[in-house]
A and B are shown apart, each in its own frame.
Chain A
Amino acid sequence: MTFIVNILSLGIPFSVALLIASLGEMFNQRSGIFNLGCEGMMAMGAFLGMLVPYTIGQGADVPGIYNYLGLLLASGVGALLGLFFGLVVVTFRAPQGIAGIGMQMFGVGTAGTLFRHFIGGTQSVPGINTAPIPGLSRIPILGTLFFNHNPMVYVAFLFVPIAWYILFKTPWGLRVRAVGTHPRAADSIGIQVNRVRFQALAVGGALAGLAGAYLSLCQVKMFSDEIIAGRGFIAVALVYFGHWHPVKIMAGALLFALAQALQLAIQGLGIDFPYEFLVMLPYALVIVVLAFSRKSQKTGPSALGKPFNREIRT
């Protein structure tokens, strides 16, 4: 019983980085942009998030504030990277898959370069600590499962209904879905397709940066080159898995995080089993899930991956 509770209470915080990043990617893809650069944006976010408390935050009167400044900076730069990606794939209409690889290398490389210069080696930060909700966290089992987490965990799960509301209930959400499904029709009723796509990319980038900063400030509390470890790519896969819907994406993020928690928990049991095969588990799961969600890929945004050109009829 405790074993299961352990896995579950480990899995929920593990799911947060995936959840935030894939909600951002959902906005990108809903607007028709396939952003494979998510991994790079997360790496930048992870580095910048940690940089603020590590440098100017050290020895300050209220060091806690600098953690949140770090989160803010990470999302801001993430949004800028999203706009930069937009310049390449929206303005220049470059093929999105290959441009995403470039973005990924740029982000991971820049984070690594800056990290070596500004921080150097393995340095940890106090980061943001768990904030048990008074009263509720004392409930046996449920308390440890749901009410004894990092504040960002609560925020991340709050993002799910917010994302749902924005996407399905606001005019902007409607525009995003319109430009991702039928950009020409959207254009004909006066929606500025490229502008909406840029906006979606900024939102997606900001969330990717935030997800990265969550890793370095709340989960691992340090930065290393391997900190993202493919989470950006898994986040992209989760969007397919979750049918471009926030709630289903949340379910997917939890599933993968649980696989990861299970993997760690089994390692912790000390069974003599090569751990490499356990580490593979989440990645293998992505491939299996993608192979079996074939049908869903056909129901995705129909203009996904297709640049829009007002001047040429297609």
Chain B
Amino acid sequence: MTKRFKTGYRIGVIVLAIIITMLLGAVILWAIGADVFKTYMVILTEPLKNKIGITEVLLRMVPLTIIALGITVAYRSGIINIGAEGQMAMGILATTAIALAFPNLPSGVLIPFAILAGMVGGAAWGFIPGFLKAKLEVSELLSTVMLNYIAAQLYTFFLRGPMLDPAELTMGSGTPQSMRLTRNLDLTRFIPGTRIHSGLFIAIGLAVLIFLLLWKTSYGYKMRAAGASERAARYGGINVPKYLIIAMMISGGFAGIAGSIEIAGVHRRAIEGVTSGYGFSGIVVALFGGLHPAGILPAAFFFGLLIYGADMTQRLVGVPANMVQVLQGIIILVIVATKMVLANPYLMQRVESKFAAIAAKRSNQEVQA
């Protein structure tokens, strides 16, 4: 088989996958009577038209990147973490607690301390499904989903009770949120007039860190081995349950960090709805980025674009923002199916022999002519 055919085949399959994704999305758009082409144009180009738009996309890229990195560690270790949303919420609670308890610490101490607390909060929440999977063989898919619902309840409990803004209590509007956290926790907004904050650099730094961890340390090697083939890894003397738990704690820890940074950089107080959808979007970003930090950064940008663009479609073309969830679902389904097609050598052979037959027929005809 020629190399040229192989590359062509791969590109052909991927282009086909993109077309199928767009068509499936178009079916839903058509069902609500929207202008399909215009909707896609708004989602993909409208946010990039000005400075605010671009920085808002970058802003959404930060938590997406960090969560997807964590999900990648888990996925590569053979465990699918769909509990990032809950882990993120726990991270936010931990960060808020630290900021409320030590408002007078200088920034240089408080920020690392609070982010670390967020990481511990998320890691603790990630430990539970990791432990249940490793020791009791509980499906992580189910336990993490359930822990999401539990975390969401804990989150509202704390925002309504112990962490409620005292001003809300006296003014009586009753919005469940914490007070404006100390300014010492604020991450710098480095472009005046926009919300983009230094968390972006933390996210890029973490991407490098995960690359080093997974591909340049023995820990990473063992985790990937456990994920690639559990039995072979066990035979090779790797303590698979231990690495499952570690991977899940890293995964949860990263979701926790994402929550901390979101609070310190964007909202500056714990409010409801911070985590909304980021857990599932993180999975799409991780898969779309090929489960590799170098792919995750552009993938996070792309999905930041989709999420922010979908916010605009409501106003500009009357398409509800939920459309982004539809697209993400389709993208997951298409990616997993495409991966199988690309990994199937028999199919490629079959396609090649078809092509060869057509080419032979054509050259025959030319000879006869």
Contacts and interface: CB of A to CB of B under 8 A. Distances in A.
Contacts of B348: none
A94 interface: yes
Contacts of B360: none
B146 A97 contact: no
A97 B287 CA distance: 13
Given A107-B329, A230-B146, A283-B146, A290 B154 contact: no
Given A88-B336, A291-B132, A103 B329 contact: yes
A105 B143 contact: no
Interface residues of A, number: 50
Contact of A98 (B32, B128, B142, B336): B336
Contacts of A99: 332-333, 336-337
A290 B142 contact: yes
Contacts of A103: 329, 333
A284 interface: yes
Contacts of B287: 98
A29 to B, nearest CB: 12
B339 A105 contact: no
Contacts, number: 149
Residue of A108, A237, A283, A311 with most chain B CB atoms under a 10 A cut-off: A283
Interface in A10-40: 36, 40
Given A112-B320, A280-B150, A94 B136 contact: no
Given A88-B337, A279-B153, A113 B146 contact: no
B332 A290 contact: no
A229 B145 CA distance: 11
Interface string B108-140: 000000000000000000001000100011110
A198 B236 CA distance: 39
B143 A98 contact: no
Residue of A40, A97, A113, A234 with most chain B CB atoms under a 10 A cut-off: A113
Q: Which secondary structure characterizes the binding site on chain B?
A: helix
A129 interface: no
Given A92-B341, A274-B161, A290-B143, A114 B31 contact: yes
B335 to A, nearest CB: 8
Contacts of B284: 105
B141 A291 contact: no
Contacts of B33: 117
Nearest to B24: A106
Interface string A101-144: 11111111110111011100000000000000000000000000
A61 interface: no
B243 interface: no
Interface in A154-210: none
A113 B147 contact: no
Contacts of A230: 145-146, 149
A233 interface: yes
Nearest to B335: A102
A20 to B, nearest CB: 19
Contact of B340 (A93, A117, A284): A93
A64 interface: no
A103 B189 CA distance: 38
A39 B283 CA distance: 17
A291 B325 contact: no
Contact of A110 (B146, B157, B326, B346): B326
A236 B161 contact: no
A240 B346 CA distance: 36
Contact of B132 (A104, A283, A287): A287
Interface string B147-172: 10110011011001100000000000
A277 B322 CA distance: 29
B141 A97 contact: yes
B42 to A, nearest CB: 15
A134 B11 CA distance: 67
Nearest to A278: B153
Interface in A220-256: 225, 229-230, 233-234, 236-237, 240
A222 B261 CA distance: 37
Given A102-B333, A117-B320, A112 B137 contact: no
Contacts of A69: none
Residue of B150, B283, B333 with most chain A CB atoms under a 10 A cut-off: B333
B213 interface: no
A58 interface: no
A85 B166 CA distance: 49
Contact of B325 (A88, A108, A283, A294): A108
Given A99-B332, A101-B280, A290-B142, A280 B132 contact: no
B330 interface: yes
30 contacts: A88-B333, A94-B340, A98-B283, A98-B336, A99-B332, A101-B283, A101-B332, A102-B330, A102-B333, A105-B284, A105-B328, A105-B332, A106-B325, A106-B333, A107-B329, A109-B327, A110-B28, A113-B322, A113-B326, A116-B322, A118-B32, A236-B142, A237-B142, A280-B154, A283-B147, A283-B150, A286-B142, A290-B138, A294-B136, A311-B346
Interface of B: 28, 31-33, 80, 82, 128, 132, 136-139, 141-143, 145-147, 149-150, 153-154, 156-157, 160-161, 280, 283-284, 287, 319-320, 322-333, 336-337, 339-341, 346
Ranked nearest first, the 5 interchain pairs of A and B with the lowest CB-CB distance are A109-B325, A102-B332, A106-B329, A105-B329, A112-B322
